[in-house]
Amino acid sequence: MSEINLVTAINLALARAMSEDQNVVVLGEDVGIDGGVFRATDGLVKRFGEDRVRDTPISEATIAGLSIGLALEGFKPVAEIQFSGFAYPCIDQIANHGARFRTRTRGRLSCPMVLRTPWAGGVKALEHHSEANETMFTNVPGLRVVIPSSPKKAYGLLLAAIRDPDPVIFFEPTRLYRAAVEEVADNGVAAPLDTCFVVRQGKDLTLVAWGAMIPQALQTADALAAKGVSAEVIDVATLRPLDEDTILDSVRRTGRCVIVQEAGRTGGFAGEIAARVAEKAFSSLLAPVERVTGYDVVLPLPRLEEKFLPNTERIGAAAQRAMAYA
């Protein structure tokens, strides 16, 4: 057992999956000798060889399409898309093909594959390197959308994603890659998919978030506690299929719900969660559901990035409004 950061946890999970299943192959741009631009695949080519850790030509669409072909023949490809802003060309392959082979062939063919991509902002990266574009994928039936929020979750959820018989897109918050360390046992134990996690218990208010917004929500909960407000924090982790029960159970207890997402507001996944709370926990609500989100603007370049991203102040203000309402 040792304390590791999130990107090392990804690396450990990949190595674990590759050593336990010959069908797991890693591919993508610069994943070989370079170890990936964030070093998530560091050392894998040395350990598992170039056949299983494959540098590809630069084409995100074909990395996805090629992975579909591999998966159809029984491999379990884990493809890296270098940045989430470059994942858009994959949508055609995922939505039109990968996520629907099982349905189209009534189970004859399926695509057990994972697309991993560094995701979302907060590291002052170049343009197109910081997009929180998960909603582009949460709209695709047959696909799983998974976002870890800590080294431990990254390890367990990635193992689960690789072992899952259906396609998964796995968004890794770049901001958390090296932000914190925690003890992670490299024991091959997967974390459950399709499950929301209560990461802090509370009774006055429910904060719902995912990815890099989890540390923000937890910090806000600390600040609220100092003011006598007890906030529960839920890490959504798998956005689709959504475990609404965990969220609804919490809101039914607390009566207040603040949802935090890094992406711009309109059409964001916070809206889906808000709708479910409104539909199914309406009578428990003591205050309107609040969303704390990015704005409906093009993601600003690094100098204004911080102004765009939800932070503890904005989350705290929303929580206070909910508390003040009733």
Partner 1 sequence: MIETKPTTAAQKETARFTIEYSQYLDKAGKLVAALPAGYDAQTVAALYKAILRTRVFDEKALALQRTGRIGTYASSLGMEAIFVGAASALAPDDVLVPSFREHGSFLVRGARPSEILLYWGGDERGNSYAKAARDLPYSVPVGSHSAHATGIALAFKLRKQPRASLAIFGDGATSKGDVYESMNFAGVWKLPVVFVINNNGWAISVPLQKQTAAETLAQKGIGVGIHCEQVDGNDVIAVQSACKAALDRARNGEGPSVIEAITYRLTDHTTSDDASRYRSDDEVKAHWEAEPARRLESYLTSIGKWTKEDQEHLLAQLKAEMDAETDVYLKTPAQDPVTMFDYTYAKLPVELARQKEQFLK
> Distance between alpha carbon 193 and the CA centroid of its chain, in Å?
11
Give dist(CA 170, CA 162) in Å, integer: 10
By C-alpha distance, which of 69, 14, 25 is closest to 51? 25
Strand-pair category, 144-146 with 238-240 = antiparallel
CA 4 to chain centre: 19
| Contact characters 123-152, partner 1, x per CB under 8 A | ------------------xx-x--------
Find the part of the chain contacting partner 1 (CB under 8 A) among 7-15, 71-79, 154-162, 214-222.
Answer: 71-79
Q: What number of CA atoms fall less than 13 Å from residue 24's CA on the CB side? A: 23
Helix residue ranges per DSSP H, 44-150: 44-48, 60-72, 88-93, 101-104, 135-138
Which of residues 3, 34, 92, 296 is near partner 1 by CB under 8 A? 92
Q: Say whether 97 is catalytic.
A: no
Query: Which residues from 10-69 bind partner 1, rule CB under 8 A?
Result: 25, 51-52, 56-57, 59, 61-62, 64-69
Q: Which of 76, 129, 175, 256 is catalytic?
A: 129
Nearer CB in complex with partner 1: 57/228: 57
Q: List the one residue out of 170, 58, 72 whose CA is nearest residue 115.
A: 170
- Residues 179 and 94: their CA atoms lie apart, in Å, by 31
DSSP secondary structure code for residue 241 in this structure: T
* Site string (178-207) toward partner 1, x via CB under 8 A: ----------------x-------------
Q: Single out the segment in contact with partner 1 by CB under 8 A; choices: 29-37, 38-46, 92-100, 221-229.
A: 92-100
Min dist CB 107 to partner 1, Å, is: 5
Residue 231 sits in the site that holds partner 1 (CB under 8 A): no
Binding interface with partner 1 (CB under 8 A): 25, 51-52, 56-57, 59, 61-62, 64-75, 77, 92-93, 96-97, 102-110, 141-142, 144, 164-166, 194, 241-245
